[in-house]
Structure 1
């Protein structure tokens, strides 16, 4: 009788143990990554995003809009820059809670700077050349920066600053990179130009031709191209060697076709040798992507109008996190927080 009772009790004990084990796993397993929306509804499209620390975030966009948070995105101060109510600030570079630089696209191409948290703005650069269209800015450090723009008379526009954006100097015309017919840059996220090393930057182009430019080196990209809406939109650089001044080997480029934003064809490529050879991800992002960002370790995030993808293996496999669209994603310069910005004033934060 005892043996038979034990046989009856044993399955019940196993079932109880399994339930308790699953509960313990659930209690200790990390939560799936998700996007926490912080604010939305504003009548502005946000494409500029600069995350200084886990607490200090700046955004910029259409209708002369600039936003700032000093508490990790919980609350925001919104500014409409006087005299620029109809301008589109497609990129922003912030250095602290008081200092930031914004870039207005199209004619005239204007760059403005604030040192008092956005209360006042100083025009530090203006270019009235016909056809001017600035695309993105990048800074190596608080002093040295670069801005790139669409081609004028067959050459991409480039200007440099060496005093924290207080003054800008156009690169001489004959030293500028040559553009193919119809080739240009996409001012979609402020990330089509990135610093590689202490004295080098890289930028990507799109349209009928899509290429990578590094100093005097021009590399054809395997990304989708051929029409005005296709090509590379963003480049990310893994900085594991930058401390030695030898970064820029591991790059990821994203883009696709923004007119067909769920198309996964040739929308992402990576290289481990500075662009000499390119690898297509085994599982690509789930559509057109306007921004890509290394966020620590082997983790990479990318976003576009059709959603957000996360990779945990340096870009070889991508998982869709949300199909809510964002234009830009950035990780804190001093910290680990990752934020997003997009249409309708939408701002969000990644939770891993």
Structure 2
């Protein structure tokens, strides 16, 4: 076949031809998506994760621990907030390499802010009410934020900030969402509350009953529930700003006491919760966090592993059996980081 078009090419054009072939046809084996471990080996359980950019990432966790990287995770600067050595920072929101807010969950519920990269922290909110337990924090932008906490006297606690977290204003009790007996939120990854559009948020609950809350709507979800260890842990929103047309949401959870159980651990909706479907291939166990990471790609993680979907959550592939609590994509960028137990920090390579 010496007269074929390929063999009729000049050597330079022939090289260019093969260089443009897909890796699998070019004799190269492409690296499949995988999790690259960046840090581990401490006793800290990391559940707070905020990725500002491909370079700047913050994490927070038990023992008053906070860590920051400004080089894409190559190195981390670890710090312990003075006076909070026995507290648990279950969520963190960072705005740049200098400014971040951490949330200490239980009595007293404390919120702290740094503007100098973690050198000093200012207490910007404290609530000593009996039963206080903050679960997750979300900011729409650099000014407007929301924190959701477990129910007190039958209603979920909600507080808002409109000045970048410098001050917080509790939603009046009669305006707070009602909770069923035993219902609460899991402070597992800081992602059970998410923004829907420029000024609206939603959150999910778990326990004996599990719901999606949007404004004054309380929406039932066909997710695993019935026990204190079951229910929804995280919600991800794809179609921001499409409030009237319906949102594409993915909810994950399951039973953290049986973390390899795949039963009813993931839900999909394209109409803001009016109707729900289950994946064709669900995640491979309990999952505490789910995140849209670009296009039709979605990542979720939990104590039994990490799953990736390339079709908006319809089918999931197990990437790793190493446990992680949280996964987030860069607000300004494409890098996806993960955080978990034993000080584990990783990133998705794909």
Given the two structures, how large is their TM-score scaled by the length of structure 1?
A: 0.91
The question of 1:266 aligning with 2:268 is answered no
Give the total of aligned pairs: 330
Distance 1:248 1:333, change over 3 A: farther
RMSD, aligned CA: 1.5
Task: Give me the whole-angstrom Cα distance separating, in 2, the residues matched to 1:163 and 1:41.
Answer: 37
Question: Conserved in 2, the CA contact under 8 Å of 1:253 and 1:292?
Answer: yes
Task: Give me the whole-angstrom Cα distance separating, in 2, the residues matched to 1:24 and 1:280.
Answer: 33
Task: Give me the whole-angstrom Cα distance separating, in 1, the residues matched to 2:328 and 2:156.
Answer: 25
Q: Matched residue of 1:343: which SS? A: coil
Question: Conserved in 2, the CA contact under 8 Å of 1:197 and 1:248?
Answer: no
Question: Conserved in 2, the CA contact under 8 Å of 1:307 and 1:323?
Answer: yes
Which consecutive unaligned segments of at least 5 residues does structure 2 have? 1-20
Q: 1:290 aligns with which of 288, 291, 294?
A: 288
Task: Give me the whole-angstrom Cα distance separating, in 2, the residues matched to 1:104 and 1:222.
Answer: 31
Aligned to 2:57: 57
1:128-178 C-alpha deviation (Å, 9 max, x unpaired) = 000000000000000000000000000000000000000000000000001
Task: Give me the whole-angstrom Cα distance separating, in 1, the residues matched to 2:112 and 2:245.
Answer: 30
Task: Give me the whole-angstrom Cα distance separating, in 1, the residues matched to 2:159 and 2:40.
Answer: 34
Task: Give me the whole-angstrom Cα distance separating, in 2, the residues matched to 1:22 and 1:89.
Answer: 45
Aligned to 1:134: 134
Q: 2:347 aligns with which of 335, 345, 349?
A: 349
Greater share of residues in helix: 1
Compare CA radii of gyration and give the structure with the larger one: 1
Aligned to 1:327: 325
Task: Give me the whole-angstrom Cα distance separating, in 2, the residues matched to 1:102 and 1:139.
Answer: 12
Distance 1:297 1:33, change over 3 A: same
Question: Conserved in 2, the CA contact under 8 Å of 1:44 and 1:345?
Answer: yes
Aligned to 1:277: 275
Question: Conserved in 1, the CA contact under 8 Å of 2:281 and 2:315?
Answer: yes
Task: Give me the whole-angstrom Cα distance separating, in 2, the residues matched to 1:248 and 1:336.
Answer: 25
Task: Give me the whole-angstrom Cα distance separating, in 2, the residues matched to 1:185 and 1:129.
Answer: 18
Aligned to 2:18: none
Question: Conserved in 1, the CA contact under 8 Å of 2:268 and 2:279?
Answer: yes
Aligned to 1:5: none
Map 1:28-177 onto structure 2 (within 5 A).
28=28, 30-177=30-177
Distance 1:46 1:22, change over 3 A: closer
Which consecutive unaligned segments of at least 5 residues does structure 1 have? 1-20
